Structure 1
Amino acid sequence: MTDAQVALTAALGASFLTAMGSWGVVWFQERLRGKASDRDALHAAVLELLTRSLAVATRAQAMGETMRLRSGLSEGLDVAVRLRKPVDPLELHDWVAQDLQPLHAALSQLWTRCDQEGVRLANDVVGKCMDLVGTSTASRPARNGWQRVVAWAVGERWTSEMREEHQRAMEALALARKRFTDYAREALGQAVVDVFAQVERPDGDGRRALSSQNSQGGRTGSRRDTAPPTT
């Protein structure tokens, strides 16, 4: 092999190595960029599910209160004399869909991005959310004609059992959201924290002790401010 051939072979080899190295760097950067994009999409879907589930729960409670307030003979008279318009089911659907549709969209995103445990926990959040909607809008069953007449005249009223069931549904949704949050934080590489943690309010003795400490600190600070400098 002549010197020219050796130089050409070395140049081609160097070019090949440079090209392969550049391709490898680009491939690695694209891979990192794709992982970051997938993580951002997962994070966005998690936030949407948590936010919309709470919003749907709030709307469900508002619907329940509306059912109890806008029912009975007085409501019928107000509607009859056109003091207020009757409830439109289509308007109610559109109002609820403002949060319900994004909730289902977020769940669909999580179905395509989470593992089996993430899908199970996300389904549980949506299921508990729908359970709360059901208990919030439940009607008191009438066992006989007289109870139906009373319900027509007085309006919707909750029994103690219905209130307890509603409270259990609220607690179940809160726990489902916490379980999903713990999973999501771990999947996204974030530290697991107690999302139910709160600042405990001091009792009567604690408040008096805190007030005493603050007053003593204020007096100490005043003496320090007015004390003459040492030589």
Structure 2
Amino acid sequence: MGLLKDLQDHATQTFREQWSTRDGQVVPSPTDLKLSNDAVQFDRATVLYADLTGSTNMVDTLGWQKAAEIYKSFLFCAGKIIREGNGVITSYDGDRVMGVFIGNRQTTNAAICGLKINWAVQSIINPALTKQYSGNTFAVSQVVGIDTSTVCAARTGVRGDNDIVWVGRAANYAAKLTEIKLAERTWLTEYAYTNLADEAKFGGNPKQDMWKRFTWTQHGNIPVYGSTYWWPISN
């Protein structure tokens, strides 16, 4: 069978085939799903994207070795924080990582992870970089985007080389939020913000709202919330 017929047959079958769906209780792995139109649906899941900023300029100015060290350090810290915060890492994509959270505290856990990632960049990665390279003037920075919505997980790709695609507003909005380039390092949609427990909403001494309301002009002028706060990791 030639390549052209393979592609034509797959497109025809995919659009014609009925979906088989079931409610999700845990975040699935690729082997939990068929390559056919098979999906796991979550009434609500929270998606977190953590993205390094300025990575193209980083490679151009620092060279690939130092840039790779920054990538590795950032993705390790972000990945460990997501796992420790009851999230599941669903993909690494270049200089970003995606995590999915489910359960009663899902959005609170994701927001705390975002604040912890900010702390790790400021208090672990940048000091280690400066300590190793005397005269270093480069500062690592990141943006985390978080949204929560109904989400479906489906398996995609070719046999022997496939992964899960996450379909739903939360996956798209969380990724898009990382494109906001302001002083705030962690971003939430309004729906995610309204699902936060007070411990992830208020901080400082005296307690105050850690999130500032903005209008997302690049995306239909919807309200979003950004934070410059961080959450220290004590152990």
Q: TM-score, normalised by structure 2?
A: 0.24
RCO comparison, higher one (Cα < 8 Å, 6+): 1
User: Quick check: which one's helix share is greater?
Assistant: 1
